[in-house]
A and B are shown apart, each in its own frame.
Chain A
Amino acid sequence: MKRVIVITGATSGIGFAAAKEFIKRGAAVIGTGRSRESCGKAAEKNRDITYIAADLSSQKQVRDAAAKISLLADSRYRGKIDVLVNNAGTFSGWYQATEDGYELQFAVNHLAPFLLTNLLLPELRASGKGKIITISSGSHYHTKINWKDPMNRKRYNCLKAYKQSKLANVLFSYELNRRFSEQFNIRAYAVDPGLVNTGIGEKRTGGLVKWFWGIRRKHGISPEKAAETIIYLAQRDLEDNTFEHLIDAPVEKNWIYWKECRPKEPGRYSKDGAAALRLWELSERLCGMAEQRETAAFKDPETENPDLSGTRSVIKIDSEAAV
């Protein structure tokens, strides 16, 4: 049975490099890309990768993608996924609210992996030893979660928002292990790819940021090199096996954060259990995972007047007059 790998943002950069490498090693790869066009182009370069188009800034599209991935896994791979690589990430020079009203970097870099991972948990469980690898970054050091305004809406600083989202990746990985490592034998890792020569600093920026990234990326390692750590954690089959025994070491050892195929000490704040729990609960709420509660608030306004007595409600009014 082939190993089944799901990689988000697999049309370029680190994600594409990792996907190619997994294919080379005989695994089956399901990749996501932001648009049909980018998926099409990447599929031309490597016919073995199965692509699903999904803009991960949209919660609806994350859910749709998860449903499609589950369906694929069910029909082709007996409903199992061995490794989920949460690689897709973005950087935006400006504050942008997604269609759900969330800040773009927080939505794409943190909420999307959070939701996708949770939706694919049954398949990861079915693997027997599922692995969740989230691409974080060295920028997670020396920062905190801004609990007052996690979306950084009023005083948006693009670097701060990026750093926070990458810290969220590490906190998320810790919390995943705490919750599921013993119960489901699922392990989560956060990978620091280092400085990599990809287009992340150019796609949604311009001016100074774009110029600076244009210079900086040249000093970065190749995406193929950066993907090595992902392959290592997923397959454990690189020649150098110095740290291999730490990959599946007991959770208490906390070897969660990896860089250049070896474990590394993550930032102090990222090990704060209370923060990880708080982030998890916030993310659950923002992803509507505890939604059964008040869906009663959605009413058909054509038949009923809005009930404004509860504490929360969203009232939808359909309008046939919409042109």
Chain B
Amino acid sequence: MKSFVLITGAAGGLGKAFALECAERGWDLFLTDRDNSTLEKLAEGINRLYNIHIVYKTCDLTDDFSRRKLWEYMEENRLKFHFLINVAGLDYEGMFNERSTAELDTIIRLNINAAVVMTNRIIRYRDYARTFRIINVSSLAAYYPMPVKATYAASKRFILDFSFAIREELKNDDVTVTALCPGGMPSNEEVMRSIERQGFFGRLTTRNVGYVASNTIDSALKGKKLYIPGSFNVLLKVLGKLVPAGIIAMFIAMRWNHART
């Protein structure tokens, strides 16, 4: 029986990198994203590069109906999974009170709700012949309260704590859970521009998505609970634990004010 690697948010920068990395390792892929035409081209491209099976399905993970269609498909075809990579996530640029209610709601529904529901479901469809592995994409932002990225950072904190907790619960069921906390990642051109705007500091915290995806899979295979790409980012995480959260929030807010004026 074949079993698949499920990647959510597969058409984004990091999602594509994960898909390519898994394909290179010879694993069959099940890809989802919001946009069907991009998935189609990606699947075709990966198929030309590597000798694997790819199944893809459009799914808006914030939409209940859309999600149900996904489960139905998996059940009907008795698909089995041995790996789940929760990549889908988003943030909107701007201050909290400049954001619409719908935007904030979407951040939480995608970054938190979708990841939890997905994990819960896909474990049921696991391939019992193999160790089941989960990678949850959190962020370095999870380590600080972040003004201007308040909702996003808090949602990523949720993912981090959630991953650590279920990891302990599922240990005896041959399931590993790995959280990925990247600093900056040039996953699309907008992010790239924002990294470049931060200058030297931006470059220092940034790692290529191809490198990150490859190392994260290695970490997951070793059963690690956390992977932070780049030693400077590890340092930032440690600092984040040493300094009280309130002070960090003040410091980040100061930096933003500085950048905006």
Contact = CB atoms under 8 A, between A and B. Distances in A.
Question: Do A and B originate from a single complex?
Answer: yes
Contact of B40 (A97, A205, A313, A316): A316
A96 B185 CA distance: 10
Given A60-B41, A97-B17, A319-B66, 17 more contacts: A94-B186, A94-B206, A94-B208, A95-B186, A97-B13, A100-B41, A101-B42, A155-B211, A156-B210, A206-B193, A306-B55, A313-B47, A313-B54, A314-B56, A319-B58, A321-B60, A321-B66
Interface string B50-81: 01111111111001011001100100110000
Contacts of A308: 2, 28, 53
A99 interface: yes
27 contacts: A59-B41, A95-B210, A97-B20, A99-B11, A99-B41, A99-B45, A100-B42, A101-B19, A151-B20, A154-B214, A156-B211, A205-B196, A206-B195, A207-B199, A207-B200, A207-B202, A207-B203, A208-B203, A210-B196, A306-B77, A308-B28, A313-B47, A314-B44, A321-B59, A321-B60, A322-B59, A323-B66
Contact of B63 (A101, A206, A321): A321
B156 interface: no
A100 B69 contact: no
A250 interface: no
Most interface-central of B41, B54, B208 (chain A CB within 10 A): B208
A315 interface: yes
Given A95-B211, A322-B60, A286 B49 contact: yes
Contact of A321 (B45, B69, B209): B69
Interface string A238-254: 00000000000000000
Given A97-B16, A101-B19, A322-B59, A206 B192 contact: yes
B59 A101 contact: no
A273 B80 CA distance: 45
Contacts of A303: none
Nearest to A209: B196
B57 A101 contact: no
A315 B55 contact: yes
Contacts of B210: 95, 97, 151-154, 156
B57 A317 contact: yes
Contacts of B52: 312
B43 interface: yes
Contacts of B200: 207
Contacts of A319: 36, 57-59, 66, 69-70
B38 interface: yes
B58 A318 contact: yes
A285 interface: yes
B48 A285 contact: yes
A316 B56 contact: yes
A305 to B, nearest CB: 6
Contacts of B40: 316
Nearest to A315: B55
B interface, over-half SS: helix
A128 interface: no
A315 B51 contact: no
A153 B20 contact: yes
Contacts of B197: 206
A314 B59 contact: no
B208 A156 contact: yes
Nearest to B36: A322
A306 B77 CA distance: 8
Nearest to A158: B208
Contacts of B149: none
A157 to B, nearest CB: 9
Contacts of A95: 17, 186, 208-211
B34 interface: yes
Interface string B201-241: 01100101111001000000000000000000000000000
A101 B19 CA distance: 9
Interface in A183-213: 204-208, 210
Contacts of A318: 36, 58
Interface string A281-323: 0000110100000000000010001101001111111110111
A172 interface: no
A221 to B, nearest CB: 28
A206 B191 CA distance: 12
A154 B195 CA distance: 20
Contacts of A288: 44, 48
A102 interface: yes
B46 interface: yes
Contacts of A153: 17, 20-21, 210, 214
A10 B188 CA distance: 25
B119 to A, nearest CB: 21
Contacts of B21: 153
Contacts of A204: 189, 192
Given A154-B211, A314-B43, A101 B16 contact: yes
B182 to A, nearest CB: 13
B188 to A, nearest CB: 8
A154 B21 CA distance: 9
Contacts of B49: 101-102, 286
A102 B210 CA distance: 11
B59 to A, nearest CB: 6
